[in-house]
Amino acid sequence: MSFDISSLLQKHKAAADWVGIKWISEKTTYRSVRNENPELNQTVHDRGLRIEVLIDGHFGYAGTSDISTEGINHAVQKAVAQTRQWSKHKIFSFTKEQRPVTKGHYRSQIQKPLDSLGLKELTDILRDCSLKMKLSDQIVNRTARAMIVETQINSVTSDGGEQLQDFSMVSLDLQAIARSGTENQIRSAGFQNQIGAEVFLRHRLLPVSESVAQQALELLKAENCPSEKTKLLLSPDQMMLQIHESIGHPLELDRILGDERNYAGWSFVQMEDFGKLRYGSPLMNVTFDPTRFSELASYCFDDSGARATKEHLIKDGILVRALGSAESQARSGVPGVANFRSCSWNRPPIDRMANINLEAGTTSIKDMIEGLDRGILMHTNRSWSIDDYRNKFQFGCEYAQLIEEGQVKKIFKNPNYRGKTLDFWNNLIAVGQEIETYGSPYCGKGEPSQVIRVGHSSPYCLFKDIEVFGGLS
Ligand SMILES: [Zn+2]
């Protein structure tokens, strides 16, 4: 369903010093199969308008799903009245500079439209994935689930800004749980991309399903991960979590400014650290990149209208830029990015991650393994804990392998590692050549709460002097 917001803008654009209107329409479809039985078949539609106004140097919002004339008039009046009142207590005086005038159109690059795959066909593929995991009676839980999201965001502003963005996204999860006595072991694989129905390919998904189940069974027979200080090789699907928690969240400028300390937390990063702080070893290059093809948080414009560009956050190990929108940049004087994003029509935008990627290095995974006298390779996040300054952390993984004398020797179950953010990243000693892309639809932040999509690409990475240990954490 589309909505003529240009006419709406003409009617209301004189209501404030500046007016922005967004029409946000999202359709989310959930399909899930467990132990070969379809469990979930649900589609949720969420549509509404967000009215944004600038009055006396203060930005304010009102959202409505009531798109009758009365409903919209009420939302505009509410945005104006509230913002006029709040402007008397503002902590910073903004201008239209924080809402750049841009025009353009973004669309996820897909090969097959998401609605080209019928319910039966999709359910059959997910059921086949579940069946492929049925390697033994010990695989007690076999789940294949897909979340398919189609989002349109249409924006206009009173000074001529006009953007239309059209997203097609799929999160696909395969999970096997193996049981022996009272012990359960989980192995999973996930795909999170802006993509079309072409992601649902049996020849791609069935081997992954089988491998997930096979590795869950292997874990039942494996020894616990030992406790030692060693070299740790992390797969890209664990690196995504490491990047998210120990780079993404601490670099959010609104956290550093203190806006989020009551809920999401603060950051160990200080304003004066930008341009100076050695965050990691010289091998560490981290970018904010919504322009990268097919990641979950790729886009052309953020919610302020700012055009997204690829920017280094950390260059050769030095912290150079924050995850801060135009508003946070104005407040702090620190360079930022186009990351002003809200999760829906009924939430205001705040500083978020988008795609935060660790750039490829020069070492092949083969050379990393062959060069190790002893080390542990860990795959796929299972648990995470990090303090609210994003400093001390402890992460658990699903599956680990011992590497000795340049060869993979055996499997460990219940692997974990711990560290402190800056020490950990300064111990980065090799970065792989091959990038893999993951993401999450569930990054939480803000009051009231906002859950948003993020993407993370990374190669395999090798760290020295890391404390690893076994057990459920
Ligand atoms: Zn998060």
Q: Where are the beta strands (DSSP E) in 195-270?
A: 223-224, 228-234
Rounded to whole angstroms, how far apart are CA atoms 321 and 75?
A: 36
Among candidate residues 194, 195, 150, the one with its CA nearest the CA of residue 290: 194
Residue 244 and residue 203 share a domain: no
Q: Are 344 and 371 in contact (CB under 8 A)?
A: no
Q: What is the DSSP string of 294-343?
A: T-TT--SB-TT-PBP--EEEEETTEE---B--HHHHHHH-----S-EE-S
Measured from the Cβ of residue 182, the count of other Cβ atoms closer than 10 Å reads 5
- CA–CA gap between residue 145 and residue 175 (Å, rounded): 9
**How much is the pLDDT for 293?**
86
Domains contained in the chain, number: 2
User: The domain spanning residue 130 has which CATH number?
Assistant: 3.30.2290.10
- Amino acid identity, position 360: A
Task: Determine if the pTM surpasses 0.95.
Answer: yes
Domain termination residue (choose one: 221, 241, 263): 221
CA Rg, the chain, in Å?
24
What is the spatial distance between Cα 188 and Cα 397, in angstroms, rounded to a whole number?
Answer: 11
Distance 430 CA to ligand 1 centre (A): 26
**Residue 237 and residue 365 in one domain:** yes
**Residues 257 and 402 sit within 8 Å (Cβ to Cβ):** no
The token pair that represents 380 in the structure block: 């796929």
Residue 444 Cα, ligand 1 centroid: separation in angstroms? 5
Range of the domain at 96: 5-221
**249 and 190 within one domain:** no
Are both 240 and 106 inside the same structural domain?
no
**Cα-to-centroid distance, 238 and ligand 1 (Å):** 14
The residues, ordered by sequence, that sit 6+ positions from 222 with a Cβ below 8 Å of its Cβ are: 410, 411, 412, 413
Reading the chain (473 residues) residue by residue, the pLDDT tens digits are: 567 899 999 999 999 999 999 999 999 999 999 999 999 999 999 999 999 999 999 999 999 999 999 999 999 999 999 999 999 999 999 999 999 999 999 999 999 999 899 999 999 999 999 999 999 999 999 999 999 999 999 999 999 999 999 999 999 999 999 999 999 999 999 999 999 999 999 999 999 999 999 999 999 999 999 999 999 999 999 999 999 999 999 999 999 999 999 888 999 999 999 999 999 999 999 999 999 989 999 999 999 999 999 999 999 999 999 999 999 999 999 999 999 999 999 999 999 999 999 999 999 999 999 999 999 999 999 999 999 999 999 999 999 999 999 999 999 999 999 999 999 999 999 999 999 999 999 999 999 999 999 999 999 999 999 999 999 86
Q: Return the SS3 of 396.
A: strand
Nearest to 421 by CA among 454, 383, 399, 395: 395
The Å distance, Cα 264 to ligand 1 centre, comes to: 9
At residue 419, the pLDDT reads: 98
Q: Tell how far the Cα of 190 is from the centroid of ligand 1, in angstroms.
A: 17
**172/259 same-domain check:** no
Same domain, 80 and 164: yes
**Sequence letter at residue 454:** V
Q: Do residue 158 and residue 256 come from a single domain?
A: no
Quickly list DSSP for 112-129. Answer: S-GGGS-HHHHHHHHHHH
Q: How far apart are the first and last CA of the chain?
A: 46
Phi, psi (rounded to 5 degrees) for 9:
-65, -45
Q: H or E segment at 424? A: helix 421-426
Q: Are residues 245 and 169 in the same domain?
A: no
How many residues can be counted in the chain?
473
Distance, CA of 211 to CA of 198 (rounded, Å): 21
> 106 alpha carbon to ligand 1 midpoint, in Å?
25
Phi, psi of 19 (to 5 degrees): -130, 135
> How far, in Å, from the CA of 29 to the mean position of ligand 1?
23
Same domain membership, residue 110 and residue 255: no
Shared domain check, 182 and 258: no
Q: Which of 430, 435, 415, 419 is nearest to 372 (CA)?
A: 430
Domain boundary among 191, 221, 251: 221
275 CA distance to ligand 1 middle (Å): 24
Beta-bridge mates of residue 127: none
Same domain, 14 and 141: yes
| C-alpha of residue 446 to centroid of ligand 1, in Å | 11
Domain end marker among 180, 199, 221: 221
Same-domain pairing of 359 and 302? yes
CA of 41 to the centre of ligand 1 (A): 27
